[in-house]
Amino acid sequence: MLFVFLGTLFAFLLIGVPIAFGLLLAAVGLMFAMDIFDSQIIAQNLVSGANNFPLMAIPFFMLAGELMNAGGISKRIVNFSMALVGHIRGGLGFVTIVASVMFAGLSGSAVADTAALGAILIPMMLSKGYDRNRSTGLVAAAGIIAPIIPPSIPMIIFGVVGGVSITQLFMAGIIPGLMLGIGLMIAWYLVARKGNYPTSQKATPREIFKAFRDAIWALFLPAIIIGGLRGGIFTPTEAAVVAAVYALFVGMVIYRELKVHQLVEVLVAAAKTTGVVMFVAAAAMASAWLITVAQLPTELAGLLGGLTNSPTLVLILIMIFLLFLGMVMDMTPAILIFTPVFLPMVVELGYNPVYFGLLMVLNLTIGLITPPVGTVLYVGCGISKISIMDITKGIWPFLLVEIIVLFLLVFFPQIVTVPLQWFL
């Protein structure tokens, strides 16, 4: 049954069938193999897959991200980061990392983060004589911090499919997200030192305060979201609505860079992205139901259990599989397809489902910057006007650091689980 489902799915993807339709056709193939074909089952699960309250957070967080980009929030975060660390050797690289960590608390999307900050920072880095490939690689690598630090759209998807607390997933991502930022800073320090990148004048305390004052409205949003979730004031779905309303208010009333005539364009962009994600999610829910009925997690657990009795080694094998999967499949469908397959198995091995969700999202997020299907890589290529081979050459030291962080979390689960207890 596992071969029928995955073989059918990848066969359709290879001939160019869109992922949502490929999922539905793979589900139909699985039903025929089980001799339980009924079109009503597909239709009912397709509708119930989209009719899900937690999934409402996705369109609102996407809308919030579009409003932030149009309202001048990204620019102010970059200016504040520049005032803090712009004077260090290779300072614009450190600005990229710090700004990405700050913006991660606003957008929840790696593509949005990379596009917004890359459009500002890559031209600045090139004008200062930084290597084009390395600079673009750093922006892309820093952009994937966004789905780890809350809010996170991929964690919402994992939480819905796996029946895991989205609030706990959000809280679990704080420390790993900061670890990614620190790891990238260490890698960039070595790159900047080797490349003898220029320094700039250190900002005065007055300039730092002015930049902070300009950015303070943007910096309030992560505090509102995390504080509200930790305090039980609102749910993740309600937090998404708060983020969208807050971004609209700041962009139109405080910064006054978001105009009424821009709202139509912002709403259309958010609606297009939402439509794609929700249709894929609905199709994946239908497949997830059949995966459960076919007992594919049990089959896979038996297969891996025959290889080793060590839970850690099983988790390592899953992580290696997901790393290779991320090279050929985008993150959202990968989460939707393989969460129902792997989650029951790792829970049976004794792992916390929130901990596994964090590992899975981080792993597949790294897939966004690995060729040939790395979505974030193509965003960087488009901004910097370089080829996929060039950005791959530039990104490898940062990619290596992020893989090291992933396996540190595999070998030391306490890095996630101990702070999680405090955050909750």
Domain ranges of the chain: 2-8+17-423
- 270-296: b (≥16 Cβ within 10 Å) or e: beebbeebbbbbbbbbbbbbbbeebeb
pLDDT confidence of 305, banded at 50, 70, 90? low
Mean pLDDT to the nearest integer, 310-319: 89
With 70 as the cut, is the pLDDT of residue 109 above it? yes
CA 55, 57, 62 angle in degrees (round to 5)?
A: 115
237, 240, 241, 247: CA torsion to nearest 10: 180
pLDDT number for residue 139: 93
Integer CA distances (angstroms), 368 to 18, 181, 372, in order: 18, 17, 10
Query: Rounded to two decimals, what is the model's pTM?
Result: 0.83
With 70 as the cut, is the pLDDT of residue 82 above it? yes
**What residue type is assigned to position 78 of the chain?**
V
Which has the higher per-residue pLDDT, 48 or 25?
A: 25
- Cα separation, 161 vs 45, whole angstroms: 13
- Per the CB < 8 A criterion, the answer to whether 125 and 135 are in contact is yes
With 90 as the cut, is the pLDDT of residue 361 above it? yes
**Does residue 353 have a cis peptide bond before it, meaning omega lies within 30 degrees of 0?**
no
- Per the CB < 8 A criterion, the answer to whether 321 and 334 are in contact is no
Determine what percent of the chain is predicted with pLDDT higher than 70: 96
SS3 167: helix
User: Could you count the other beta carbons within 10 Å of the beta carbon of residue 400?
Assistant: 13
- Per the CB < 8 A criterion, the answer to whether 244 and 60 are in contact is yes
33, 37, 42, 48: CA torsion to nearest 10: -100
CA 284, 314, 22 angle in degrees (round to 5)?
A: 20
Average per-residue pLDDT for the chain: 85
pLDDT number for residue 304: 67
Radius of gyration of the chain from Cα atoms? Answer: 21
pLDDT confidence of 103, banded at 50, 70, 90? confident
With 70 as the cut, is the pLDDT of residue 84 above it? yes
Place of tokens 């983060």: 113
